[in-house]
Chains A and B, each alone.
Chain A
Amino acid sequence: MDFWTDPYLFLVNWLHGLLVGWGLPDAIASFILMFAGAFVLAMGAMLFVLGLIWFERKLVGRFQDRFGPNRVGPWGIIQPLADMLKIFTKEHITPAGVDPLPYNLGPVLAVAAVLAIWAVLPFTISLVGADLDVSVLYVVAIGGLGEIAVVLSGWGSNNKYALLAAFRSVAQLLSYEVPLVIALLVPVMLSGSLSLNQIVREQGVWYIVLAPVAAFIFFIASIAEVGRSPFDLTEAESELVAGFNIEYSGLKFGMFYVADFLHAFTISLLFAVLFLGGWRGPYAEQYPLLGLVYFMLKAGAVYFINIWMRASFPRFRIDQMMGISWKLLTPLAIGAVILTAVIDKLLPGGELLPYGDYVRVGVMLGANLVLVVIAGALMALQKRKHMLQEFPIAASKGFTVRDVSVNRGTK
């Protein structure tokens, strides 16, 4: 374990030796190193957001056939820094009658809830903040804290619209958390552990191959949890006057913005950990830094798809959004769990050998495909029934749902 194969472990051991050599007891030295590590990780994540903002703005610009920022620095790379400096010096306009503690705690908690997820992500084979044995539940529980942050902000603003938008946002978050936690059961089942570190180590075959439906549900549900397009109804400029962060100005608003981007990248990291094999790749075990590179590349690819979706799809209406979560994603997730549980037990043979057991991969893929086909058939049946109910004459004449605008009827 010299410097070139594993610089991180080498550095940690060297620092530890240095601190002990200065006369500190072992526990204190470990504590100081732990604190330093946590600080570097948190600070690094927050500074990383600048790069994320630049990436997103350039990409969205390109999707919209324009350049994106390109004046400030080469390819506009200093633009987010300039924006950050600007927002740091804006006035904090506090409206009258706010409840001071919830009002100020809201943005801080929103960022903290996202940052906290970085503590359990396995970056390489040896670099993980906290190797909890219940990391998967920890990630979901932290999402719950994020919901509280929304309620605090909406409540603390002393503004009807902010409160209404906060409730809508919480209803959206609650609705999409159900398919999210149910779909998360599948990687836990396949790997036999609730620890993210263990899930990555068990992925001889990436879980996106073994459980594509669960991966899809997790992807969609996590985009809705972040509140990005096409699920950004509660914070869009044309709806409910920009949502629960109306009364925030300056850096407090900037914190919500940071939390949004960081959360989007964090769920890309989570997707890579759970379904794309995290840091796994050729030679990742011998050279851990290579594992980090693979991890970031995979997360970057998922983030790219995320931005692509944002730039391409129109926003959902609130009743469409709720309908998708409760009536499509939840039953589909439950079906995926039951299917994976039963089929995997019925397959002959023991453990999955890496790159070996093609039968298992084939059967799981096939079973997922069958599930998708059944779901599609049920949906088509439902549409047909609805069409017959609402437009009997058109249905009898042989029109399909594509020819008639099906209004789900918001009263």
Chain B
Amino acid sequence: MAKKVHVTTTVNGDEHQYLCEPTQTLVDILRNELELTGTKEGCSTGDCGACSVIVDGDLVCSCLVLAVETDGKSVETIEGMAGGGELTPLQRNFLELNGLQCGICTPGILIAAKALLDRKPDPTETEVRFWLAGNLCRCTGYDKIIRSVLAAAEEMRGN
């Protein structure tokens, strides 16, 4: 067995030190080592977006990132989204507008949507659709997901 590597990663503001195989992906470490199972693995090839997380501000598929690459970096996952016990406008709008059905794609979509609104607080419907084109949902047909993101964006702009 390859020798394990010592890695230090900040996840949702908490520093974690762990040993991992050099080939282990970030999603594997998040789920199986840190037991943060909110990040989902749907394909392991970067095609479904269920494992979306934010690493140092960049939206990535955590199945395409090696855990060793996140040494010294900061990772945001779904578990860190609702700070202080309050749901964010994104989370709340997804609940109120039925932006989720089974809920398996929801963590990845919320993370991806957050990354969008961090960059662009007033996206058009088309921009939301293209930004989320890397996140598969098989239940909703996307309609209520797009509406939830647009409503959250509007709320966050203070309208």
A and B are partners in one complex rather than unrelated chains: no
A residues adjacent to B (C-beta < 8 A): none
B residues adjacent to A (C-beta < 8 A): none
